[in-house]
Structure 1
Amino acid sequence: MNRGGRQGGRVAWRVLLWILLLAVVGAAGWTWRDFSRFSVTPLHVSSASESIDIGRGTSFKDVVHQLRSQGLSTSSPLYWRLLAERMQVAGRLHAGEYAITPGITPQQLLANMAQGKVLQRDVTIVDGWTFHDVLQALAKADKLKHETAGLDEAAIMRKIGAPGEKAEGRFLPETYAYVKGDGDLDILRRAHEAMDKTLATSWAQRAPDLPLTTPYQALILASIIEKETGRADERARVAGVFVRRLQKNMLLQTDPTVIYGMGSSYAGTIHKSDLTTDTPYNTYTRPGLPPTPIAMPGKPAIEAALHPASGDALYFVSRGDGTHIFASTLEEQNRHVACYQLKHCQ
């Protein structure tokens, strides 16, 4: 009887051990499936502009704490640790700001941090902007250090390694990427170098017999073309008019230079008295090119200045719809002005 009881007890223990083993295996399996699901399940992102900023020396534990405190994750810190160990990135996370985009998973985020794929932002210098416009855009750029605040133009140019240069026209219109910690002087330095390279390349390939003796003169002319027309099909024709007027020692008589010379007194309308008021930029009163560019010319305007269209046109006037009509004689020009500006078409 005792032997049977002992045998029954051993059976009961075996059954209990099996039950416990199955429970452990089941729990482990459930945990593994839950962990695997966690690694590929998108984080809780409430807007498209979410990010996490990891400072230098931040521990992995603090990174996870920050994710949880920002409401991006409610998963166990153990899961984050296991995932980092499995990916072999626990000790290789780079400091910086990282985008938390809709749909990003813990696995993707850790991979980005391990590869240092920090969040990049963009700032655009627009064709035709003045240096003042550029500084205003940089001042509004998010997470960009504003190092130019309180500096005058001369100091800014010294800071970027271009002492003595006038700033107007010297920065290539393009979109520039930056990361948190970069400064506006970094953007200006890159844009200045880009313009130098672009201008040097274009100057080396310029058309022959141009009335331009330096790349800077080409930059000045390109800035005028930039302000006169935004149409790709007209830039070279406008350039041709100005080049022929320079060759014939005619006044350029271009309104954008007059407006630039008026500075803050320009209120949106140019009057006849403005055309006769002399300034260094008034091309109705002074021959040749103005002393500096009047805006930031884009690559197409630079190309047009150095490859003007052939022809005999010496004048052009706006039709009022964004296009221009060209003329080779003053009589023809006067008819166009009467028609398109004064609305006295015959």
Structure 2
Amino acid sequence: MYLKKVLWAVAILGLLICGFVAYQIYSAIFNPNTQFNNGEAFVYISSDATMADVKQNLEPLLKDISSFEAVADRKGYTQNIKGGKYAIKKGMNNNEIINTLRSRNLPVKVSFNNQERLETLAGRISTQIEADSLSLLQAFNDVTFLNTSGFDEDTKLCMYLPNTYEFFWNTNAEDFRDRMLKEYKRYWNAERLEKAKKINLTPSQVMSLAAVVQKETVKADERPRVAGVYVNRIRKGWPLQADPTVIYAIKKETGNYDTIIKRVLYRDLEMDSPYNTYKHKGVPPGPITMPDISSIEAVLNPEKHDYLYFVADVSNFGYHMFAKTGAQHNRNKVQYINWLNKKKVYR
């Protein structure tokens, strides 16, 4: 009788222990384990992250990091960590958190505007994805890639179309670059290639001319008219005589791309540079900035007119006064020169 009681006691104790252990396991897996107040929090896991890195990222967000680690180990996550951006929602349990970190990598919006150099583009992109600016720049300048893709030192800027794109945060430099090449090829469809052919320009030349248009006017609605002026000049065999190309030539020569030049001087026009369109006919050998889509479309669809000249309109800032003859242009130019002198803009 006494032995039976002992056995019953041991059995009951065992059940209680098993129940307690089961409860602890259940709690570790299924009880909410977040401690932030917002609806969700985002974590960024690097591609080479260790479990220690993951814990460091999650510790401020979780009530019990130890229970998370225990469940992660049991589910095999500690040996299969994946980089990316993840959303941890308020009230998630460890099981849900680990499932999220395993398979719910979120895309991010990556944007860039008109950059003059790949160095500044790399810096801009590195703030939006995992790849750092050095690895991006190395990928952009890879000679083998440029050769096989049809670009060179002057035209390599053509490949990057300013826009907003979706990427995974853990995208590496080569994958970002390769995606940009795909976007470039997608943009240059048969219809646009045919339009470029009609104005006797290659896609790279269209991009170079679009960059000049981009620099000449900030007004998107005026860009087809400005493009029309340059197309007219090219058809007549005239030099473009575009001040922004001279400014770029000065920056390229000095290596100081941060310099601000508000007024091009006559001595600047004598600069011996392939980017000086006062001395060299045709479009520059490469773009002087990344033109946006509106500028590229302006070149592909230039306004049809007889204008050959234009100058800034000081009575309607941002826009220009257009002329068909040199005499008319010189009259228009007087108001701009007077305005520069009045404002004491000498450089």
Structure-2-length-normalised TM-score: 0.70
**For the Cα contact (< 8 Å) 2:242–2:278, is it kept in 1?**
yes
**For the Cα contact (< 8 Å) 2:274–2:280, is it kept in 1?**
yes
Deviation at 1:308, TM superposition (A): 0.5
Aligned to 1:234: 222
**For the Cα contact (< 8 Å) 1:239–1:309, is it kept in 2?**
yes
Structure 1 residues 196, 130: CA separation in 2 closer, same or farther (over 3 Å shift)?
Answer: farther
Structure 1 residues 100, 290: CA separation in 2 closer, same or farther (over 3 Å shift)?
Answer: closer
Deviations 1:103-123 (A, max 9, x none): 4433653332232x2355554
Q: Provide the aligned C-alpha RMSD in A.
A: 4.5
Deviations 1:159-216 (A, max 9, x none): 4643662313232223342433612x33223223322331344533517842x24223
Aligned-partner SS, 1:96: coil
TM alignment of 1:190-339, pairs within 5 A:
190-206=179-195, 209-210=198-199, 212-262=200-250, 263-265=252-254, 267-269=259-261, 270-319=264-313, 321-339=317-335
Deviations 1:44-64 (A, max 9, x none): 3899664455868x7xxx689
Please tell me whether residue 180 in structure 1 is matched to residue 170 in structure 2.
Answer: yes
**For the Cα contact (< 8 Å) 1:315–1:326, is it kept in 2?**
yes
Deviation at 1:316, TM superposition (A): 1.6
Aligned-partner SS, 1:194: helix
Of 140-149 and 287-296, more deviation after overlay is shown by 140-149
Deviations 1:206-238 (A, max 9, x none): 17842x242232222222112222322011111
**For the Cα contact (< 8 Å) 2:29–2:71, is it kept in 1?**
no
Aligned to 1:189: 178
**For the Cα contact (< 8 Å) 2:130–2:170, is it kept in 1?**
yes
Which residue of the other structure, out of 8, 24, 31, is the alignment partner of 1:38?
31
Which AA in structure 1 matches 2:31? F
Aligned-partner SS, 1:343: helix
**For the Cα contact (< 8 Å) 2:312–2:318, is it kept in 1?**
yes
Deviation at 1:331, TM superposition (A): 2.4
Which residue of the other structure, out of 154, 157, 165, is the alignment partner of 1:168?
157
Q: Quick one: distance in 2 between partners of 1:317 and 1:108? A: 63
Q: Quick one: distance in 1 between partners of 2:188 and 2:321? A: 29
Deviation at 1:101, TM superposition (A): 5.0
Larger radius of gyration: 1
Deviations 1:123-168 (A, max 9, x none): 433135333432343466663143356x597x52424643662313
Aligned-partner SS, 1:168: helix
**For the Cα contact (< 8 Å) 1:43–1:103, is it kept in 2?**
no
Q: Quick one: distance in 2 between partners of 1:34 and 1:130? A: 55
Q: Quick one: distance in 2 between partners of 1:64 and 1:192? A: 33
Q: Which structure has more helix as a fraction of its residues?
A: 2
Structure 1 residues 49, 197: CA separation in 2 closer, same or farther (over 3 Å shift)?
Answer: same
Structure 1 residues 163, 289: CA separation in 2 closer, same or farther (over 3 Å shift)?
Answer: closer
**For the Cα contact (< 8 Å) 1:275–1:282, is it kept in 2?**
yes
Aligned-partner SS, 1:278: coil
Structure 1 residues 254, 92: CA separation in 2 closer, same or farther (over 3 Å shift)?
Answer: same
Q: Quick one: distance in 1 between partners of 2:101 and 2:149? A: 36
Aligned to 1:11: none
Structure 1 residues 316, 51: CA separation in 2 closer, same or farther (over 3 Å shift)?
Answer: same
Structure 1 residues 128, 241: CA separation in 2 closer, same or farther (over 3 Å shift)?
Answer: farther
Deviation at 1:286, TM superposition (A): 1.8
**For the Cα contact (< 8 Å) 1:38–1:75, is it kept in 2?**
no
Please tell me whether residue 143 in structure 1 is matched to residue 130 in structure 2.
Answer: yes
Please tell me whether residue 158 in structure 1 is matched to residue 123 in structure 2.
Answer: no
Deviation at 1:78, TM superposition (A): 5.5
Aligned-partner SS, 2:228: helix
**For the Cα contact (< 8 Å) 1:64–1:80, is it kept in 2?**
no
Q: Quick one: distance in 1 between partners of 2:309 and 2:96? A: 60
Aligned to 1:125: 112
Deviations 1:45-99 (A, max 9, x none): 899664455868x7xxx689927972322238568878999xxxx3578522354
- Identity of counterpart residues, as a percentage? 25
Which AA in structure 1 matches 2:320? H
Structure-1-length-normalised TM-score: 0.71
**For the Cα contact (< 8 Å) 2:44–2:84, is it kept in 1?**
yes
Structure 1 residues 101, 226: CA separation in 2 closer, same or farther (over 3 Å shift)?
Answer: same
